[in-house]
A and B are shown apart, each in its own frame.
Chain A
Amino acid sequence: MPVDIDAAVIANRRLSADYNVLALAAPQIAAAARPGQFVMIKTSGGPMLSGAPLLRRPFSIFEILRDDAGAPSGVSIFNKRIGTGTAQLARVEAGTRLPLLGPLGRPFEPVDPPAEAWMVAGGVGLAPFVTLGAALAARGTRTTLFYGARRAEELYCLELFEALGASIVLSTEDGSRGTRGRITVPLADALDARPLGNPVKLYVCGPTPMMRACARLAHRHGRACDVSLEQVMGCGLGGCYSCVVLAAGADGGAPHHTRTCIDGPVFDAQRIVWDALAGH
């Protein structure tokens, strides 16, 4: 059951000119959050300011923060400056209060051993994977993070995944770190090399063309694949029907416009009509 709280900004850690990690005090949301869920943030805070964005913005829960006793105390979000709302979150100061609604959406289903989990992230698509990595580690599932970016400087927060015991495979488009090219290159190699008898499930989040390519690779290799979709949202609770994607029914029925906020953001990749998804 989602709650709406005025969350105090605990810290705003700048990673680069474009990326930051925002820590928010939100014990109720943190306690209820499951991997891959998101929150709706009013990036301009409470009062309606001239020129401020009217609608909330959806953000994956990046980390679940804990206090010294280990109790859930807050959540963080992984923010990339793209537009007005994300620009506000890039420069928000500690102590500011931001309305935070969550946790929302259909979470990832972590696999159990002996199956392995491969998380595939492109750029800001890294956001949902810390919570998933933690859930997988708790089950003793062997986990690999495949993480691609344009250049080495845009590979962030690797220490969080190392701390969870995940293996890491990197790629950069300019070849400055890991495999040169897109993350689908080492992913394809890994899928080719993996015997069919060794189960592995893919979890993918990133630009639409990347997710589509990963979905195809998974399908070709007979592997389960979930994608976490990012769509413009009005409400986050299923009331406005803004955030739809064309997806086959969970039972394989005809494709319908399906809400990513409550029927997603996590979908079986095979359900998605990828041609209908606008790339971004």
Chain B
Amino acid sequence: MDLSLQIGSLSLANPLIAASGCFGYGVEYADVVDLSSLGGVAVKGLFLSPREGHPPPRIVETPSGMLNAIGLQGIGVHRFIAERLPELRERRAIVVVNICGTTLDEYVEVARILSDVEGVHALELNISCPNIKEGGITFGCSLPGTHDVVGAVRKVTSLPVIPKLTPNVTDVSSFAKAAEDAGADAISLVNTFLAMAIDVHTRRPKLTNIVGGLSGPAIRPIAVRMVYECRRAVKIPIVGMGGIATADDVLEFMIAGANAVQVGTMNFVDPFIWGKLLDGIRAYMTQHSIARLQDIVGTVDTSTREQAWIST
């Protein structure tokens, strides 16, 4: 039973990756999860320097989801390398570093620094966080911006480069194509959806930052659709994410076109979810006589369905 896959030069043992922003730096979960059993760990986003993030309240529960406005609080790339990476290496984690920037130069510099360090296996480019005013989203919502940041990072690193796409655009597949054309090894999507919640008694936004990113099972069907569209636009691997809670959800993303998935919000609800997902995937493979999990990627059968983009 083969659950492995390839992203550029990187081999993953299975398609399950802990999502950035939902797993700290990985070390926080080392007591409850065998990090080496995960396909990968996408660590919390890193800028060159530490960032404090937004004042609390930073999360609001929503129907079947949550809003977050953490604001990319982080220790910065230098402290990550000195203080967190050694333990991740010791625990044999496959480390995907999510890198952030407020300028093109910052993305390039962080990527350069990480490329020279042992124990970093891939770079995920955060060009899509809705929680900071400057940087990120500016690139991620602009086709030339996406192309430029991916291309610039590509030039300075031989590590696999995985831009994380924002869903807050009209046509996500064109951004996938721009990323592929610029040299990305894979794409990951979706990041969170811009959203807002209001306390009707105080008439104030529930988040200090007013708006935040919506994640959780509520947005999963939208994410599946976006992965499906991107699969038809690019040849590079796709890492799908969005409210994954069960093995069936993983399989749904893969059948839609994802080669791997990231699990985030539901890791908060059940930090022991990883073993359950792997067991569920293996049971499915046995039931359907599938020897190689990657064989199901992009196999959604639409032949008896008619696509009609009509909103009711």
The residues of A with any CB-CB pair to B shorter than 8 Å are 1-2, 4, 42, 48, 51, 53-56, 99, 101, 231-232, 234-235, 237-246, 256-257, 262, 276, 278
Least CB distance from A18 to B in Å reads: 19
Q: What per-residue 1/0 map shows which CB atoms of B36-59 lie under 8 Å from chain A?
A: 000000001000000011011111
In the complex, besides A2-B31, A54-B61, A237-B29, 9 extra interface pairs with C-beta distance below 8 angstroms are A2-B32, A4-B272, A232-B58, A235-B267, A237-B28, A240-B22, A244-B53, A244-B58, A257-B52
In angstroms, how far is the closest chain B Cβ from the Cβ of A253? 12
B65 x A54 contact (CB < 8 A) = yes
Contact of B56 among A2, A239, A242 (CB under 8 A): A242
- Interface residue ranges, B against A (CB under 8 Å): 21-24, 28-29, 31-32, 44, 52-53, 55-59, 61-66, 68, 70, 73, 216-217, 245, 265, 267-272
Our pick among A101, A231, A237, A257 for the contact of B53 (Cβ within 8 Å) is A257
Chain B interface mostly helix, strand, loop or mixed? loop
Task: Report the bound CA distance from A257 to B53 in whole Å.
Answer: 8
Closest CB of chain B to A50's CB: distance in Å? 8
Instruction: Identify which of B29, B56, B59, B61 gathers the most chain A CB atoms within 10 Å of its CB.
Output: B56
CB of B73 within 8 A of CB of A55, answer no
- The listed residue (B32, B53, B268, B272) touching A55 by CB distance below 8 A is B268
Q: Across the interface, which residues of B come within 8 angstroms of A241, CB to CB?
A: 24, 44, 53, 58, 70, 73
Query: Which of B52, B65, B70, B217 makes the CB contact (< 8 A) with A242?
Result: B70
- A-B pairs, 7 with minimum CB distance: A238-B28, A235-B268, A239-B24, A242-B59, A234-B268, A1-B31, A242-B58
Given contacts A238-B28, A242-B68, contact A56 B268 (CB under 8 A): yes
Instruction: Across the interface, name the chain A residue whose C-beta is closest to B273.
Output: A4
Do the beta carbons of B217 and A240 come within 8 Å of each other?
A: no
Choose one: B52, B62, B70; the contact of A240 (CB below 8 Å).
B70
Ordered by A's residue number, 19 sampled pairs between the chains whose C-beta atoms are within 8 Å are A2-B32, A48-B64, A54-B62, A56-B268, A232-B58, A234-B68, A235-B268, A238-B24, A238-B28, A239-B22, A239-B23, A239-B268, A240-B21, A240-B24, A242-B59, A242-B70, A245-B56, A256-B52, A262-B28
Residue contact B56 to A243, C-beta cutoff 8 Å? yes
Query: Within 8 Å CB of A51, what residues of B?
Result: 63
Q: How far is the CB of A30 from chain B (nearest CB, A)?
A: 18
CB–CB B271/A55 < 8 A:
no
Q: How far is the CB of B215 from chain A (nearest CB, A)?
A: 10
Give CA–CA (A278, B54) in the complex, Å.
13
Contact A239 to B73, CB < 8 A, known contacts A232-B56, A244-B53, A244-B56:
no
Q: How far is the CB of A127 from chain B (nearest CB, A)?
A: 21
Closest Cβ neighbor of B23 among chain A residues: A239
Give every chain A residue within 8 A of B271 (Cβ-Cβ): 4, 101, 235, 237, 239
A278, B66: Cβ atoms under 8 Å?
no
Chain A residue contacts of B31, Cβ below 8 A:
1-2
* Distance in angstroms between the alpha carbons of A235 and B266 in the assembled complex: 9
**Within the assembled complex, what's the spacing in Å between the Cα atoms of A235 and B263?**
14
For A42, A237, A238, A276, which residue has the most chain B Cβ atoms within 10 angstroms? A237
Are A54 and B73 interface neighbours, CB within 8 A? no
Q: Are A257 and B73 in contact (CB under 8 A)?
A: yes
Q: Which of B58, B64, B267 has the largest number of chain A CB atoms within 10 A?
A: B58
Contact A231 B56 (CB under 8 A): yes
